Amino acid sequence: MKAAFFKEHGGADKIIYADYRDPVVGPGEALVRVKACALNHVDMLLLDGRFPPPEGLPHVNGCEVTGTLEATGAGVTGLRAGQRVIIFPGFACGRCEYCLRGERTVCVRYGYLGAHRDGGYAELVKAPAANVLPLPDEIAFEAGAAVPLAMLTAWHALVAQAELRAGQTVLVQAAGSGVGSAAIQIARLSGARVITTVGADDKIEFARSLGAERVVNYRTQDFVEETKAWTGKRGVDVVVEHIGGDTFERSVYALTRLGKLVTIGSHDTHWGRLDLRHVYSKNLRIIGTNLGSIVELQTVLDHVVQGRLRPIVDRTFALADARAAVQHVLDRKNKGKVLLLS
């Protein structure tokens, strides 16, 4: 098959589009012919070596995949060749203490499609059959590929972890990102009000169209001051943070008492300082979260079918142009998700 893979770490120029070993399905696995695969920031960490692929190089990125079922391994039932599918990207052992507690995203052997195994920047990809779900006919392959990581992670963070309620206020960092554009919509669906940040004025209208009430250009405005002004000095109930560093540190100052900061990524840096005085004196909660469950993915898909959530696709590239697609994301030009189409 053809794939866009890398043999050494670096920038977009390390992506090679060429022949690659065909995935071979084992018992309990499914082979999917990729139609659309979304890019994510974790792809960039895998590529540049900040998060080296656990299985080593060469490696194929791509954790958000829709396509059609090509074949199944021994013992797989309930799937038929040719059907439209979406892949739930998290792998769990099902046997460790945390899996048995029902917390599969913190499985001690947890892994991601496109990270711990080769992913969807390819014509074919394999996954455990239990991770392969029907993609509803109402959802295009392109829209579906924006759901399984970005939208699901934002859903789990706001609904399950932060327990967001109607009438609360939320600061969503980086409206232009896949997670940000999803989080704004999910917060609005929950009845909350949203302030968000962008890095360029040409993303302000985009953020408003998703439902953000106030949009701050963090390059020219102070998002803490703007948040305080927007909430009458009170601060917000919830911050969705996925940047790290200074953004993480300062996000804490945007919270009101008993506020919650959900951290779901570290796009700039894995490190962030914490002003502990604010955390204990205001009884703040700093909540780490990743992905969500298959049941939550089905809930999100239902909302997409009903038109209550809209996967935001910025731009599509042919698989052969994966290098240009990666550069587009590295340049932060995207408003929503960037996809590769096979």
**Interaction site with Zn ion (CB under 5 A):** 92-93, 96, 99, 107
47, 48, 51, 55 alpha-carbon torsion, rounded to 10°: 50
Which CB atom, from 95 or from 219, has the smaller least distance to Zn ion? 95
CB of 104 to Zn ion, least distance (A): 7
CB of 97 to Zn ion, least distance (A): 8
How far apart are alpha carbons 110 and 104 in whole angstroms? Answer: 8
Which CB atom, from 106 or from 204, has the smaller least distance to Zn ion? 106
CB of 301 to Zn ion, least distance (A): 24
Phi-psi map region of 307: left, alpha, beta (phi>0 left; psi -120 to 50 alpha): left
CB within 8 Å of 152: residues ≥ 6 apart: 291, 292, 296, 297, 300
Which CB atom, from 16 or from 93, has the smaller least distance to Zn ion? 93
CB of 105 to Zn ion, least distance (A): 10
Strands (E), the chain: 2-6, 15-19, 29-38, 59-60, 64-72, 84-87, 90-91, 111-112, 124-128, 132-134, 169-172, 193-198, 214-217, 236-241, 255-263, 285-288, 313-318, 337-341
Which CB atom, from 96 or from 204, has the smaller least distance to Zn ion? 96
Encoded tokens for 141: 């392959």
CB of 242 to Zn ion, least distance (A): 25
198 contacts 219 by C-beta, under 8 angstroms: no
CB of 288 to Zn ion, least distance (A): 17
How far apart are alpha carbons 226 and 171 in whole angstroms? Answer: 11
Which CB atom, from 21 or from 95, has the smaller least distance to Zn ion? 95
- The alpha carbons of the chain give a radius of gyration, in whole angstroms, of 20
Instruction: Give the residue at shortest CB distance from Zn ion.
Output: 107
Which CB atom, from 90 or from 176, has the smaller least distance to Zn ion? 90
How far apart are alpha carbons 269 and 254 in whole angstroms? Answer: 20
Which CB atom, from 108 or from 305, has the smaller least distance to Zn ion? 108
CB within 8 Å of 253: residues ≥ 6 apart: 224, 235, 275, 278
Which CB atom, from 45 or from 107, has the smaller least distance to Zn ion? 107
Which CB atom, from 29 or from 123, has the smaller least distance to Zn ion? 29
How far apart are alpha carbons 183 and 194 in whole angstroms? Answer: 9
The length of the chain, given as a count of residues: 342
CB of 253 to Zn ion, least distance (A): 37
CB of 98 to Zn ion, least distance (A): 6
CB of 96 to Zn ion, least distance (A): 3
Q: To 5 degrees, how large is the angle CA 42–CA 44–CA 46?
A: 70
310 contacts 337 by C-beta, under 8 angstroms: no
Query: What number of other Cβ atoms are within 10 A of residue 280's Cβ?
Result: 8
How far apart are alpha carbons 339 and 342 in whole angstroms? Answer: 10
